[in-house]
Amino acid sequence: MTFAVPEGGAPPPIVLLAGGLASRLGAITRTLPKSLVEIAGEPFIAHQLRYLAGEGFPDVVICAGHLGEQIEAFVGDGGRFGCRVRYSWDGAARLGTGGAIRQALPLLGRRFLVMYGDSYLPIRFRPVWDAFDRAAAVALMTVFRNERRWDDSNVEFSGGVIKVYDKVHRTDAMRHIDYGLGILDASVFAPFEAGQPFDLAELYGALVREGRLMGYEVQERFYEIGSVSGIAETDGFLRARRHSEAIR
């Protein structure tokens, strides 16, 4: 198996958070994990994995939980998508997004990327990693000037700095949104015990308050399959992209 490797050395692993219940989708995900919802003719995770491989980040760790055995049965070792895929499981209790990453640390090494399992992010990943690497940061969040267009904005970002991040108490000063791609140093998980359930947003919030969360603004909108309308938009986008590539 051959992996694309970005210039500058072997790529770090990327965590794909795919253990959620997907309750917003109702009957669509009652017996099917969100990652396997059909988008543009195939399970969504197939699009994600091929894109990550094409961006030069083929080392993927899937944090699995709800119906995760179906994801493993479809994806396997990731070879047919150009990836090497490994799995980290929640276990008997759901760990939340933060707890799931904490559980996966033995597979990840010191620094790694994090992406939500219901997001398609049509950006170049290498410049984000390079900016993090140059800054010698311990955590990075990509942000997008959303202006509440595609979801509720949850980030106050100005002068290149994340000043506030809050998914619950939103204000008019929040013009940006967590884009869905992060980079973390394993050291930021030191306050959390293995097996402790917590949300990644909790960790991000603490890092903002400590002045340790670097912001990186992207210009391309995100696509998601966490809502019925998002599924329709993402399906249309990926079908159009496939058609455009086919006629080049």
pLDDT band at 21 (very low <50, low <70, confident <90, very high): low
Weakest-pLDDT range from 8-17, 99-108, 128-137, 188-197: 8-17
What is the three-class DSSP state of 46?
A: helix
Chain segment 79-110, per-residue pLDDT in tens:
999 999 999 998 778 899 999 999 999 999 99
pLDDT of residue 36: 95
pLDDT band at 170 (very low <50, low <70, confident <90, very high): confident
List of residues 6+ apart from 82 with CB closer than 8 A: 3, 4, 49, 50, 53, 54, 58
pLDDT of residue 191: 94
pLDDT of residue 57: 97
- Given a cut of 60, is residue 43 above it in pLDDT? yes
pLDDT of residue 4: 40
Dump the DSSP string for 146-200: -TTSSS---EEEETTEEEEE-SSS--TT--EEEEEEEEEEGGGGTTS-TT----H
Mean pLDDT of 127-140: 95
pLDDT of residue 8: 52
pLDDT of residue 133: 95
Q: What is the mean pLDDT of the chain?
A: 90
- Given a cut of 70, is residue 1 above it in pLDDT? no
Tokens in use for 81? 């998508």
Distance separating alpha carbons of residues 171 and 152, to the nearest angstrom? 10
